[in-house]
C-alpha cells in the first residue's frame, strides 16, 4: 500500500462509522458544540434509488457494493451468511426499517450493570426515543411527533396479514396497536421508518443537513484500520482509502463501526485479549479480554406454509404484477412497494401467553428460499420466529494481522440449551397458530419444518440446520462498571483516554426487539455524555499535574437542550 502525506487537518473528534449510531453521534456533537467533527465511512454514498424505495431493501442486500459480506465460522456444521450495511447510513440504509424499541426491562438490565455514573434505565432512555421520533400519528407518553426520525404505521396490510392478525387473536393473543407503548405483548401492525413513501435512514433523519453545512466533514470509502495513540491517549485514526494509507488526527476518537468492526478495530489497535493479539503479531496496548466476546444476536427460524389462490404478495412480486406495483408507487407513492412487505408482527411467550414476551414473529406474506426475495409462484406465508432474549453468547475474533481480512464470527446460535428448548416451543406455537380457524380454509400444506419433523428432537435438529441471523449483532464491546467490561458506563474504553465506543456493540444484554432504534437512542445518550465530559474537563480547575492537557480542548458551545438535561439530572440527584 502506498503511503501518502498526513492529512494536516486536526479534528476535535473523529467518529468511525456512519451507521445508526455514527450518524446520531456526529450530528449531535455538531449540533451542540463548536467541535470539528470528521465522520469516516468505509462504504460509499447512499444515492442508489433502491436505498430509498422501501420495498427495495431485499434487492439492496444482494448488492456486494453496499454490504459487508461476512460469513460465520461453522455453526452446527454450516457457515452462514452474515451481512451488514457498508454504505453511508450503515444498517439504516439497508435494513427492513421496522421501528421497535424493546421492553423496559432491557434498559433496566443495562442500568444494573452500568454503574452510578451513567443513566441507562428505561426511564432515562425513553426521553431519547421521544426526542428522536417524528411519529405521523400519535404522541402521548410513548411517542414523539417532532423528532427527525420519521415513523409511521405500515402503509399496507395484505389480505394474508389480516388473516395472521386474526389467527393470533384466535390463538389467545390480544390485538395491540402499539408494541412501543405501554406493553409489547400482542399482535400488531408494524411501525416503520418510512416517510412520503421513502426510507428514513439515520442520514436523512440527522446527518444530511450537517454534511451540507460542512459542520461534519464526511469521508466516505475510507476504511479505518486502527486507532493511533500518543502514549495512552487516542490521537487519531489510520485509514485506507483509494489504495493509500492516510493518517487523520484528532483529540478524541469515537468508534461507531458496529458490533463486528468496532471490536476488530480495537484489536488491531492493540486493545483486546492479550494472547490473541500476540498470536497475530499485534503489540498489546491494553489487555482487555472481553473485546469481541459476548456476541449476541437474535436467532431467526421460519415456518413456511403454502396458501390457496393469490393471497399475499407472491404472485404480484413478479412480471406484470411487479410492473403494476411499480407504476402505482411512481404515481401515488403508495401500495406494497411503499412498505417493507413485513406488515404485521406479534410478541409473546409461547409458555405463558400473559407473560413477558420472549418471542417475536414477523408475518411475511411470501415464500422465499433466502428469506429475502420471493421464490416460486405458489402463494404462501412465512412466520419468522425470533428469540428476543437469547442466552447463547458467541464471539468475533481476528483471522490474522491484516485489518482487511474478514474477522472470524461465531454467533453460537442455539448454543445454550434454554434457547433451543424455547425455540422448539415457538415452532409448536407457530404450527398451532397456522391451524386456527382464520387459517383453516386457506392453508394448503406446511413447507417448513415439514410433516416429517414432529418430535422435539426432530424439530430441534431442524432449527439447528436453518437458524440464522436476524442481523442484530450486539455486545462485543460490552458496557459495564466491572473491570472486565470493554467500556465503562460512559462508554469510555478502559485502559486508555480519548477513546469511546458508541454503537450496538456496547449493549451488555440484547434488547427485546430490532436494534436500530435502540442503537440510535443509546448513541444520543452516549453523545451527550461525551459533551458533558468534555465540558467537565474544560472547566476543570484542579491540580494540573493529574489532569488531561487542557490545551487539547477547544471551547464547547453548549445549547439549551443539553443544559436543561444537566439541570434536570442535578435536580433529580439532589
Ligand atoms: C439486512 C438488515 C436488516 C435489518 N432490519 C432491521 C429492522 O428492520 N429494524 C431494526 O431496528 N434493525 C434492523 N437491522 C439492524 C440495525 O440496522 C442495526 O442494529 C444497526 O444499524 C446497528 O447500528 P450500528 O451503528 O451499531 O452499526 P451499523 O449501522 O452497521 O453502522 C456501522 C457503520 O460503520 C461502517 N464501518 C464499519 N467498519 C468500518 C471501518 N473499519 N472503517 C470505516 N467505517 C466502517 C459501516 O460501513 C457502517 O456504515 C437490520 C440490519 C440489517 C443488516
Query: Which H/E stretch holds residue 553?
Result: none
From the CB of 24, is ligand 1 less than 6 Å away?
no
**Minimum CA distance residue for ligand 1 atom 46:** 86
**Nearest-angstrom CA–CA distance, 388 and 103:** 10
Number of H helices, E strands in the chain: 17, 27
Domain residue extents for the chain: 1-151+199-297+394-412+472-574, 155-189+299-387+414-466
Tell me the angle at which helices 122-132 and 104-114 cross, rounded to the nearest 10 degrees.
Answer: 120
Query: Which H/E stretch holds residue 254?
Result: strand 244-255
Neighbours of 236 (CB within 10 A): 24
Higher pLDDT, 115 or 316: 115
Q: Which three cell numbers stand for residue 365?
A: 406474506
**Nearest-angstrom CA–CA distance, 148 and 136:** 11
State mean pLDDT over 540-549. 38
From the CB of 96, is ligand 1 less than 6 Å away?
yes
List the beta strands (DSSP E) in 41-166: 67-71, 81-85, 133-135, 149-153
From the CB of 61, is ligand 1 less than 6 Å away?
yes
pLDDT tens string 408-424: 999 999 999 999 999 99
From the CB of 504, is ligand 1 less than 6 Å away?
yes
- The reported pLDDT for the residue numbered 428 is 98
pLDDT tens string 462-477: 999 999 999 999 999 9
Q: Is 472 a residue of the active site?
A: yes
Confidence of residue 546 (pLDDT cuts 50, 70, 90): very low
Residue 516 Cα to ligand 1 middle (Å): 8
Share of the chain above pLDDT 90, in %: 80
Residue 90 Cα to ligand 1 middle (Å): 4
**Nearest-angstrom CA–CA distance, 219 and 237:** 12
Residue 259 Cα to ligand 1 middle (Å): 8
pLDDT of residue 564 exceeding 60: no
From the CB of 517, is ligand 1 less than 6 Å away?
yes
- The reported pLDDT for the residue numbered 570 is 44
Biggest CA-to-CA distance, the chain: 79
pLDDT of residue 481 exceeding 70: yes
Per-position b or e across 205-221, b if 16+ CB within 10 A of its CB: bbbbebbeeebbbbbbe
Higher pLDDT, 279 or 10: 279
Query: Which H/E stretch holds residue 364?
Result: strand 359-364
Q: Which three cell numbers stand for residue 547?
A: 489532569
The CATH architecture to which 155-189+299-387+414-466 belongs is: 2-Layer Sandwich (3.30)
**Nearest-angstrom CA–CA distance, 390 and 381:** 25
Q: Which three cell numbers stand for residue 539?
A: 472547566
pLDDT of residue 314 exceeding 90: no
Pocket test for ligand 1, best of 16, 407, 516, 522 (most atoms within 8 A of CB): 516
DSSP state of 282: -
State mean pLDDT over 40-64. 91
**Minimum CA distance residue for ligand 1 atom 27:** 258
Q: Which three cell numbers stand for residue 540?
A: 476543570
pLDDT of residue 336 exceeding 90: no
State mean pLDDT over 310-316. 83
Pairing relationship of beta strands 244-255 and 10-16 according to DSSP bridges: parallel
- The runs of H, that is alpha helices, within 215-349 are 258-268, 274-279, 319-332
Residue 219 Cα to ligand 1 middle (Å): 17
Domain 1-151+199-297+394-412+472-574 in CATH: superfamily? FAD/NAD(P)-binding domain (3.50.50.60)
pLDDT of residue 234 exceeding 50: yes
Q: Over the Cα atoms of the chain, what is R_g?
A: 24
End-to-end CA distance of the chain: 56
pLDDT of residue 555 exceeding 50: no
φ and ψ at residue 306, rounded to 5 degrees:
-75, 145
DSSP state of 555: P
What residues form DSSP beta bridges with 228?
Answer: 236
Confidence of residue 212 (pLDDT cuts 50, 70, 90): very high
pLDDT of residue 559 exceeding 50: no
Residue 335 Cα to ligand 1 middle (Å): 27
With the C-alpha atoms ordered 100, 391, 469, 394, is the resulting torsion angle positive or negative?
A: positive
**Nearest-angstrom CA–CA distance, 350 and 425:** 6
Confidence of residue 7 (pLDDT cuts 50, 70, 90): low
Asked, colleague to colleague, whether 1-151+199-297+394-412+472-574 and 155-189+299-387+414-466 share their fold, the answer is no
Task: Give 3-state DSSP helix, strand, coil % of the chain, rounded to 5.
Answer: 35, 25, 40
Confidence of residue 567 (pLDDT cuts 50, 70, 90): very low
Q: Which three cell numbers stand for residue 221?
A: 470509502
In the set 143, 472, 536, 571, the catalytic residue is 472
Residues 249, 233: contact at Cβ < 8 Å?
no
| Nearby residues of 540 by Cβ (< 8 Å), 6 or more positions away | 547, 550
What residues form DSSP beta bridges with 359?
Answer: 348, 387
Amino acid at each position: 500500500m502506498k503511503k501518502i502525506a498526513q492529512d494536516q487537518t486536526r479534528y476535535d473528534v473523529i467518529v468511525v462509522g456512519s451507521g445508526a449510531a455514527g450518524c446520531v453521534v456526529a450530528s449531535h456533537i455538531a449540533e451542540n458544540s463548536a467541535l470539528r467533527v470528521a465522520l469516516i465511512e468505509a462504504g460509499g454514498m447512499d444515492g442508489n434509488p433502491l436505498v430509498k424505495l422501501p420495498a427495495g431493501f431485499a434487492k439492496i442486500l444482494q448488492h456486494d457494493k453496499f454490504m459487508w459480506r461476512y460469513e460465520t465460522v461453522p455453526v452446527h456444521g454450516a457457515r452462514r451468511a452474515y451481512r451488514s450495511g457498508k454504505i453511508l447510513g450503515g444498517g439504516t440504509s439497508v435494513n427492513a426499517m421496522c421501528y421497535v424499541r424493546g421492553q423496559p426491562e432491557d434498559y433496566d438490565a443495562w442500568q444494573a450493570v452500568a454503574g452510578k455514573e451513567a443513566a441507562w434505565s428505561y426511564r432515562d432512555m425513553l426521553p431519547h426515543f421521544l426526542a428522536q421520533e417524528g411519529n405521523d400519528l400519535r404522541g402521548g407518553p410513548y411517542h414523539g411527533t417532532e423528532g427527525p426520525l420519521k415513523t409511521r404505521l405500515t402503509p399496507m396490510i395484505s389480505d394474508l396479514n389480516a388473516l395472521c392478525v386474526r389467527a393470533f387473536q384466535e390463538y389467545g393473543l390480544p390485538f395491540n396497536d402499539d408494541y412501543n407503548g405501554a406493553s409489547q405483548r400482542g399482535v400488531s401492525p408494524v411501525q416503520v421508518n418510512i416517510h412520503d413513501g421513502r426510507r428514513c435512514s439515520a442520514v436523512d433523519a440527522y446527518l444530511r443537513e450537517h454534511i451540507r453545512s460542512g459542520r461534519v466533514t464526511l469521508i466516505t470509502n475510507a476504511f479505518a484500520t486502527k486507532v493511533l495513540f500518543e502514549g495512552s491517549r487516542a490521537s487519531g485514526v489510520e485509514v485506507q482509502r483509494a489504495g493509500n494509507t492516510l493518517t487523520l488526527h484528532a483529540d478524541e476518537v469515537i468508534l461507531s463501526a458496529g458490533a463486528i468492526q468496532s471490536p476488530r478495530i480495537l484489536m488491531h489497535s492493540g486493545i483486546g485479549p492479550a494472547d490473541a493479539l500476540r498470536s497475530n503479531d499485534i503489540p498489546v496496548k491494553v489487555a482487555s479480554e472481553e473485546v469481541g466476546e459476548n456476541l449476541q444476536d437474535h436467532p431467526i427460524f421460519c415456518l413456511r406454509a403454502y396458501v390457496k389462490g393469490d393471497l399475499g404478495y407472491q404472485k404480484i412480486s413478479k412480471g406484470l404484477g411487479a410492473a403494476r406495483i411499480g407504476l402505482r408507487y411512481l404515481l401515488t407513492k403508495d401500495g406494497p412497494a411503499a412498505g417493507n412487505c413485513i406488515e404485521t408482527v406479534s410478541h409473546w411467550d409461547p409458555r405463558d401467553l400473559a407473560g413477558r414476551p420472549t418471542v417475536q414473529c414477523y408475518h411475511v406474506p411470501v415464500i422465499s428460499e433466502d428469506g429475502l426475495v420471493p421464490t416460486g409462484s405458489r402463494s404462501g406465508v412465512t412466520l419468522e420466529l425470533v428469540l428476543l432474549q437469547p442466552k447463547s453468547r458467541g464471539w468475533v475474533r481476528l483471522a490474522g494481522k491484516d485489518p482487511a481480512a474478514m474477522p472470524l464470527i461465531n454467533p453460537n446460535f442455539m448454543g445454550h440449551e434454554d434457547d433451543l428448548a424455547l425455540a422448539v416451543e415457538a415452532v409448536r406455537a407457530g404450527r398451532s397458530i397456522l391451524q386456527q380457524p382464520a387459517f383453516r380454509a386457506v392453508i394448503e400444506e406446511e413447507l417448513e419444518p415439514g410433516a416429517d419433523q414432529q418430535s422435539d428432537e426432530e424439530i430441534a435438529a431442524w432449527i439447528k440446520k436453518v437458524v440464522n441471523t436476524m442481523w442484530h449483532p450486539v455486545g462485543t464491546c460490552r458496557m459495564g462498571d466491572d473491570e472486565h467490561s470493554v467500556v465503562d458506563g460512559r462508554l469510555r474504553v478502559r485502559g486508555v483516554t480519548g477513546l469511546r465506543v458508541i454503537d450496538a456493540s456496547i449493549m451488555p444484554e440484547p434488547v427485546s426487539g430490532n436494534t436500530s432504534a435502540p442503537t440510535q437512542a443509546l448513541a444520543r445518550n452516549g453523545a451527550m455524555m461525551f459533551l458533558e465530559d468534555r465540558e467537565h474537563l474544560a472547566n476543570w480547575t484542579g491540580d494540573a499535574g493529574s489532569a488531561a492537557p487542557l490545551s487539547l480542548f477547544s471551547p464547547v458551545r453548549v445549547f439549551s437542550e443539553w443544559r436543561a438535561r444537566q439541570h434536570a439530572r442535578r435536580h433529580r440527584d439532589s
